[in-house]
Amino acid sequence: MPTLPNHPPTKPKGLVYLGNRRSRTLAIALLCFVIFSTLLLGAQLVGTEGLEIALQTRNQPPSLAHPFGTDWLGRDMFARTLHGLSLSLWVGLLTAICSAAIGLVLGTVSATMNSKVDAVITWLIDVFLSLPHIVLIILIAFAVGGGVPGLLISVSVTHWMGLARLLRAEVLQIKNSDYVQLSYKLGHSSLWIARHHLLPHLIPQFMVGLVLLFPHVILHEAGLTFLGLGLPPEMPAIGVILSEAMRYLSAGYWWLGVLPGVALLMAVKLFDILGASLRSLLDPKTSQE
């Protein structure tokens, strides 16, 4: 009988596609986005149940009925943590957008204006990067007067430098490319070139920078609130929850601070993974692996 040629088994193309790095990265990014949306809407999903004072169930350790335990007023810590994360994420998202917008404007202006404007903005970036980060945030928040305005201003004006430097380098590279120079010679206006050549390259970089900026903003928002310079005590932010829990840790109520703190760190790590996934998807060197 004729023997069949011994060919190695081949994998279906669909399985190869599902197993490549781009598909895995896209799946991770979608999962992170779903969890992020759930956390943002956590307060609406949970409602006000569990936030009422119930002295008969106060200071209870974690259990099936109360996964994060209860506090000194009998409030459910899981519900408080979800409300606090939701509030912190909304504030962090607004602050990150403001800071990223500053970086986009200054980075683009620095690369497109004359050398004097470029030198001033570059010097400003170097000055901000040379100062102690957390100290600068605290000083600005204290000078503004704390509260929500102090939080938004201090965090927004101290997180734009890295993105501005990245976008400046990107604009300089695009501006000196052959196809942009050809567009100038063909008579296209600067606005047309910015719309058709600059924006398609800057928007992906801006979005990745915004997502990567988000974890730092959340941590600094929680830190300022913990120190009493951020959100007011009546708002159930994570910083407020951790600040209140410090008074009860010595009494053995560890769940009041540990579990909300772990939830905050997991949320920050989630957005860090999302930013790294988006960067891998948009990087030509890794997007096709």
Looking at residue 194, its pLDDT comes to: 77
Q: In angstroms, rounded to a whole number, what is the distance separating the alpha carbons of residues 90 and 92? A: 5
75 contacts: CB under 8 Å, gap ≥ 6: 50, 51, 52, 53, 54
Indicate the CATH number for domain 23-48+75-282.
1.10.3720.10
- Where exactly are the structural domains of the chain? 23-48+75-282
The amino acid at residue 218 is I
CB 75 within 8 A of CB 197: no
Q: How confident is the model at residue 12 (pLDDT cuts 50, 70, 90)?
A: very low
Q: Is pLDDT at 36 greater than 80 in this prediction?
A: no
Q: Is pLDDT at 18 greater than 50 in this prediction?
A: no
Tell me what the mean pLDDT of segment 242-260 comes to: 85
pLDDT digits (tens, 9 = 90+) for 212-241: 888 888 888 888 888 888 788 777 788 888
Looking at residue 196, its pLDDT comes to: 78
14 contacts: CB under 8 Å, gap ≥ 6: none
User: pLDDT exceeding 90 applies to what percent of the chain?
Assistant: 3
Tell me what the mean pLDDT of segment 197-217 comes to: 83
Tell me what the mean pLDDT of segment 51-62 comes to: 83
User: Is residue 85 classed exposed, middle or buried when 0-12, 13-18 and 19+ CB atoms within 10 A define those classes?
Assistant: buried
pLDDT digits (tens, 9 = 90+) for 158-191: 888 988 998 888 888 888 788 888 887 888 777 7
Looking at residue 102, its pLDDT comes to: 92
Q: In angstroms, rounded to a whole number, what is the distance separating the alpha carbons of residues 147 and 224? A: 9
Tell me what the mean pLDDT of segment 42-70 comes to: 80
Looking at residue 14, its pLDDT comes to: 42
